[in-house]
Structure 1
Amino acid sequence: MNTELTFGQKAVGLTFNPSGDDKVGQIKQTFADAIDQLNNLRNTTTSGEVKCMCSVAITDAQTAQMWAVKAITWKD
């Protein structure tokens, strides 16, 4: 059964995990959950400033998620 991905899951590329590493999936889901919370706030607030802060936080969370995956998969 295919369920539609949340905004956060799409934002972190949850389904892209060529190695099938469970740790990669877990960290991506953790960041996806945070992004979903921020996206919900962004979509419900009337404050332009809060919308802007949420957008910046989402972008920074995506960046942090990519670095986290790199750390998890790093081979010396």
Structure 2
Amino acid sequence: MEQELTFGQKAVGLLFNPSGDDAVGQCKQGFADLIDQMNNLRQTSTSNDQKRHASVAITEMEGAQMRAVKALTWND
């Protein structure tokens, strides 16, 4: 039975790694863990401002993850 992906793993596209590059997988999982932390905070917080900051952090981590994967797979 396959384990369901976390919000963070879905957000970073953890299963999409056509080259099977371990560095890419590790990078994506690291960002997924951080995104999950912010998502958990967003779900449990009673502060609208804290929720907003967590949402912005998630969005910015998604962009940073894509750039990090691009850096790891860059070929000149």
TM-score norm. by structure 2 comes to 0.98
Name stretches of at least 5 consecutive residues in structure 2 with no aligned partner.
none
Name stretches of at least 5 consecutive residues in structure 1 with no aligned partner.
none
Q: Which residue of 1 aligns with 2:41?
A: 41
Indicate the SS of the match to 1:5. Answer: coil
Q: Which runs of 4+ in 1 moved over 4 A?
A: none
TM-superposed CA distance for 1:13, in Å, is 0.3
Figure out how many residues of one structure are paired with residues of the other and give that number: 76
Q: Which residue of 2 aligns with 1:73?
A: 73
TM-superposed CA distance for 1:56, in Å, is 0.3
1:15-72 deviation line (CA, Å, top 9, x unaligned) = 0001110100000000000000000000000000001000000000000000000000
Q: Which residue identity does 2:6 align to in structure 1?
A: T
**Between the two proteins, what is the percent identity of the paired residues?**
70
